[in-house]
Structure 1
Amino acid sequence: MFKHFGFIACLPLVALAAETEQQPVVAEDTKPLGFISVDDLRQQRDGEQKWGIAAVMRSASIPYATESVVEDSTVSSFVPMMFYQGNRLFINGTEGGLNLYREQDWEVNALIRMHFIDIPSSFQNEIGGDTADFGLQYKYRWDENYYTDFELLSDPDGRFSSQFSIGGDYQFDDWRILPKASLLWKDSDYNSYYYGLNFEDISSGVDLRVGSAFSYHVTSNLYLLGGAYARYFDSNTRDSALVSDNWQGEGYLGFGFFNDAKKPRKSSISNKPYLRVAHGWATPSNIGEIFSGNRVKDEYNNQLTSFFYGHPLTDELFGFPLDIYLTPGFVWHWSSDVQSSTQEYIMAIKAYYTFTWPVQWRFGVAEGLSYVNRITYIEQSEMDRKGYEPSKLLNYLDFSFDVNLGDLFNHKPLDSVWFGYSLHHRSAIFESASQFGRIKGGSNYNTVYVQFDF
């Protein structure tokens, strides 16, 4: 269902790549006003950034009349989340966007939000996973606690919806509470597709959604996350033969790593931005086989070339020296005898641990999202063997090990250059994630790279 997602995925790559030029430090929480510009994107904050990474379980009631087919009344999904707040680019868990215009009290944003389709998990792979809504958002802040926003959104096939919300943001010691009430208008195409399932025409209508999210600061960078919401369907949806409930409930609970709220963010950090260029070869082997040395070569020699930018976020976690980056990437999958060339877009958070023995080495691991325009051969062949429908959107992992060339050759001009190995991995988290189509499996590429700090 993410078939038109590629052009949206390019937006954060362009925005972050433009932020590489070093500029004077911007004051805490100061953001540029007016229209977005190249100068805004080039403003580089040398200090610690607002960031986070989390893992939650989301559960929702199933509103459809499926009792005669399955016994499930709820469906659950594992949802990895990333968080980042820059001058213009923002990522907030299951949504992200780009600020287009800002004044002191209001702003206009380009927005994309994950759209969960809460059907029984046994049907999820056949349907093809969740989808996304994208469009424009107007947000007005009344004060530091209250805001209203209005959104006009469309799914990839032009089914429109809009949302008007009133929300709050309250801090009580270690608790942060985020109540929200929304009216959601959906056009007839939207209702007919998502609730009539293309078997029944349902006229447009307005839903009511109320609830709250929360976070609890456990210690240092560790937080607990949760939330609960209730949605009351419009009368046309309630009257549908395919919808059995007037209400739908959803909730989520998990944990995450964020800036320590009890410490001011650092005005400067030690890690620098980087550019990484890699080339890799596909393998049908899984991660365990690869790391145990039992990998098998792809008989068709499928290859990729990737480019990643590393945007520094912080240089520590729980007081431990870790260089952490937001890292968007672009990947070119080369054509071969069994596939045409295709493109892949990645957004991830990556952590590096550096040690000296007797030169500088680093271990790295990244977690994020990956979207491909067309399914690659190595992935399609595995899905065919296992009987799954593939998903263009999957979870992304990167495991790397590299060495500093300046140390290795005792040549100071190479101090900012690293050479190493990385495993480029796409998968769907063992059928636990509806947004990835309830798939087990994916693809792996062994890559070598050169990385330049600057």
Structure 2
Amino acid sequence: MRREARQARDERGRRRARPARPRTSEFRHGFHIRIPRRFAHAPDPKKIIATLNNRCAPPGRLRRSRAETRPPRAGVLPLRALALTLALCAAAAPPAAATSDFLADITATDSAGWGAVARVEQSPYRGGGVRIDLLPLYLYEGEYVYLHSYRAGLKFRPGPDRRVNVFLSKRLESFPVERVPSVLEGMSPRVPETDLGLSYEQRFDWGDVFGEYLRDASGNSGGTEWRLGYGAERRRGRLKLAPYVMLSARNAKLNGYYYGVTPAEAAADRPAYQPGAGVNGTVGVNARYDLTGTWHFFAGLSATLWSSGVRRSPIVEDRMQLAGYGGLAYEFVPTREKDTGNRTPLTFKVLHGRSSPCNLLPIMELRCRSINTDDRTSVDSFEVGRPFIENLHGWPVTIAWYGGLLRHEERGLQPDFWQANLYLKAFYWGFPWKERVRTRVGFGGGLSYAQRVPFVEARDQAMRGRNTSKLLQYGDPTIDVSVGDLFGEKELRETYFGFGASHRSGIFGMAQIFDNVNGGSNYIYTYIEWRM
């Protein structure tokens, strides 16, 4: 009986479902990740964490643990474990370098970009309302040199996580030029000044810290500013978000120039006032969305609390200042053609021109070619260019950088002076007769800085009661033909003779970087250009 009862109990036990074998292993500390046991090749789960840390860490920053000293067991990491590794790396990736320059990191190194940015901000001045500003976008990111429309300079990397910049920057602060509020009437205009700056950026695992020193180099305020900030970066697909905070310490000269009232400017409702030195605080976020591999949309929002001394000024609104921007950029990825010496050829250009009363569009349409002016001022220039892209997307289009020095001959109307031009230029040469005589139509756009305001600009602006600026937008439309094709000399096929216009413009008063100048000048010129 006992034997039969024991056999019955054993039979019932065999019929019972055995408990399922655990299929997962757990990490007991920190955040918990459940990994299928068949993927957990390491006897110690900490070993997997150490491996992930090493793969995600930037060069020179590998985390070490005792688990790493043991040799790994043989085996191939399955695809799902690899996907987990990539996900963890994306979540733990260090942020990009932070800076107060909102145009940084839009294009990659050795790339260039064209586009436009619209800026909207609450005017800090009482009764100023909302200010809308157009900023033409010119971008270049070299290994040691960069250009970001309103800022250009040199950059150095003393270490993999450190960067030092020396730059010139246009300060986007000024009195309104159009619709001047009544509180500013009768005051001397305050214009955007040019700052000489030095910046340092340091990358950490938890974010980036940056510091900047700026000093007025244009002789307007003679002021200085120190900036200290923190930024981070988060990516999700094509979207990049970069929140930041920044403190700005401005000295009394800088605040007094833009937000002070001198005794000579005092009025019944506007007493003399000097805000003194102070510290501003700013929080904001910058964003970039890659529409394609070459088209980028970017935008940002910020809020600034000015120092109490500035907010108490009789010409300033006592409030938080809100601002935003949005822009579109096209990135040119270099595909240079090399010559037989395995180097990028350079282009040289010499030109001579005279001032013209014509506007730019009639000149480009060949409807106006007059150089008969009373002033008879002229220009001579030497430029150096470098092809940046040959056969853009397979089209007969070439993109090149140009930089040059231009000499203004003012015929005794004022002292002669120099002008520096830097611009990006596109050429189209795919005409039906290109095999017989190569003909190019080109248009360049960039920046122009003159030691003095040219006489023709100062005269025309004074007649219209408008302001002037040494820094303006530069345009360079041209048409030329190959000298070698004209005379049957193969060696001269990359030598061109043509006509063009040297154009300075304030973009119809829409750009604060050009002090909202509405006007400019045109010089019609002839030139010779050759490649070496």
Task: Please give the TM-score of this superposition, normalised by the length of structure 1.
Answer: 0.81
Alignment CA distance shift 1:313-1:219 (3 Å): same
Q: Counterpart amino acid of 1:185?
A: A
Alignment CA distance shift 1:107-1:83 (3 Å): same
Alignment CA distance shift 1:180-1:307 (3 Å): farther
Q: How many residues are paired up?
A: 398
CA contact (8 A) 1:300 1:337 kept: no
Show the 5 A alignment for 1:160-309.
160-198=224-262, 199-259=272-332, 266=335, 272-290=345-363, 291-296=365-370, 297-309=372-384
Q: 1:227, CA displacement in angstroms?
A: 1.5
Q: Whole-Å Cα distance in 1 between the matches of residues 243 and 114 of structure 2?
A: 22
| 1:324 matched to 2:360 | no
Q: Whole-Å Cα distance in 2 between the matches of residues 422 and 437 of structure 1?
A: 27
String of CA shifts for 1:204-245, please: whole Å, max 9, x gaps: 111111212222222353222221111111222223332213
Q: Which residue in the other structure is 1:136 paired with?
A: 198
String of CA shifts for 1:386-407, please: whole Å, max 9, x gaps: 1112211111111011112222
Q: Which residue in the other structure is 2:385 paired with?
A: 310
Residue 361 of structure 2 aligns to a residue whose secondary structure is helix
Q: Whole-Å Cα distance in 2 between the matches of residues 116 and 89 of structure 1?
A: 22
Show the 5 A alignment for 1:53-452.
53-65=114-126, 67=127, 72-99=128-155, 102-117=158-173, 119-122=175-178, 127=189, 129-142=191-204, 146-155=207-216, 156-157=218-219, 158-198=222-262, 199-259=272-332, 266=335, 272-290=345-363, 291-296=365-370, 297-317=372-392, 320-356=395-431, 357=433, 358-452=436-530
Alignment CA distance shift 1:226-1:272 (3 Å): farther
CA contact (8 A) 2:162 2:203 kept: yes
Q: 1:146, CA displacement in angstroms?
A: 3.8
String of CA shifts for 1:323-378, please: whole Å, max 9, x gaps: 11222221111130423211111121111112251211111111111111112222
Q: 1:314, CA displacement in angstroms?
A: 2.2
String of CA shifts for 1:271-316, please: whole Å, max 9, x gaps: 7431211111111111233234334322232110112222333235
Alignment CA distance shift 1:418-1:437 (3 Å): same
RMSD value over aligned CA atoms? 2.6
Q: Whole-Å Cα distance in 2 between the matches of residues 178 and 327 of structure 1?
A: 33
Q: Whole-Å Cα distance in 2 between the matches of residues 53 and 269 of structure 1?
A: 24
Uncovered stretches (5+) of structure 2, i.e. residues with no partner: 1-107, 181-186, 263-271
Alignment CA distance shift 1:359-1:413 (3 Å): same
Alignment CA distance shift 1:93-1:238 (3 Å): same
Q: Whole-Å Cα distance in 1 between the matches of residues 437 and 110 of structure 2?
A: 29
Q: Counterpart amino acid of 1:111?
A: F
Task: Please give the TM-score of this superposition, normalised by the length of structure 2.
Answer: 0.70
CA contact (8 A) 2:420 2:450 kept: yes
4+ aligned runs moved over 4 Å, structure 1: 123-126, 265-271, 316-319
Alignment CA distance shift 1:319-1:412 (3 Å): closer
Q: Whole-Å Cα distance in 1 between the matches of residues 442 and 191 of structure 2?
A: 30
Alignment CA distance shift 1:432-1:267 (3 Å): closer
Q: Whole-Å Cα distance in 1 between the matches of residues 330 and 338 of structure 2?
A: 18
Q: Whole-Å Cα distance in 1 between the matches of residues 199 and 109 of structure 2?
A: 27
**Which one of the candidate residues 104, 110, 120 is aligned to 1:49?**
110
Uncovered stretches (5+) of structure 1, i.e. residues with no partner: 1-46
Alignment CA distance shift 1:354-1:49 (3 Å): farther
Q: Whole-Å Cα distance in 2 between the matches of residues 48 and 233 of structure 1?
A: 35
Q: Whole-Å Cα distance in 1 between the matches of residues 440 and 424 of structure 2?
A: 16
Q: Which residue in the other structure is 2:40 paired with?
A: none
* More off after superposition, 309-318 vs 338-347: 309-318
Q: 1:130, CA displacement in angstroms?
A: 2.0
Q: Whole-Å Cα distance in 1 between the matches of residues 193 and 488 of structure 2?
A: 51
Aligned-residue sequence identity (percent) comes to 28
Alignment CA distance shift 1:218-1:318 (3 Å): farther
Q: Whole-Å Cα distance in 2 between the matches of residues 149 and 337 of structure 1?
A: 49
Q: 1:153, CA displacement in angstroms?
A: 0.7
Alignment CA distance shift 1:303-1:121 (3 Å): closer
